[in-house]
């Protein structure tokens, strides 16, 4: 039970960190990009507030959760083949 809670916590942490990082970068690009490239467009920063910020946050959450899932699949050891000396021993020794 405790291990499952830790895995869920780790996946949520990866999702949160991904949301903060990617969402912040997308918001900054959407907010300051129109100011730099089109200074006469007074509604430009709304792009970052209403579009690129939320879309970047959602994309970062999905990317973080996928990263946690992939890392879990990579780190999970494969079972020993049937009949190998390590199959019956919990320490892996014959």
Asked if the structure places residue 30 within a domain, the reply is yes
Domain that holds residue 43: 11-73
User: For the residues of the chain, what is the DSSP string, one character each?
Assistant: -HHHHHHHHHHHHHHHHHHHHHHHHHHHHHHHHHHHH-TT-TTTTHHIIIIIHHHHHHHHHHHHHHHHHHHHHHHSPPPPPTTSGGGS-TTS--
pLDDT at residue 55, rounded to an integer: 98
Count of domains for the chain = 1
Asked if the structure places residue 3 within a domain, the reply is no
pLDDT at residue 32, rounded to an integer: 96
Asked if the structure places residue 1 within a domain, the reply is no
pLDDT at residue 77, rounded to an integer: 65
- pLDDT tens, N- to C-terminus, the chain (94 residues): 677 788 888 899 999 999 999 999 999 999 999 999 999 989 999 999 999 999 999 999 999 999 999 988 777 666 656 655 555 555 555 5
pLDDT at residue 8, rounded to an integer: 87
């Amino acid at each position: 039970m405790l291990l499952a809670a830790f895995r869920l916590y780790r996946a949520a942490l990866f999702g949160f960190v991904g949301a903060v990082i990617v969402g912040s970068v997308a918001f900054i690009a959407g907010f300051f990009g129109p100011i730099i490239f089109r200074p006469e467009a007074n509604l430009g920063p709304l792009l970052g507030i209403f579009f690129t910020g939320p879309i970047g946050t959602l994309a970062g959450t999905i990317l973080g959760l996928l990263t946690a899932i992939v890392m879990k699949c990579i780190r999970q050891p494969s079972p020993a083949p049937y009949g190998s000396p390590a199959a019956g021993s919990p320490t892996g020794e014959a």
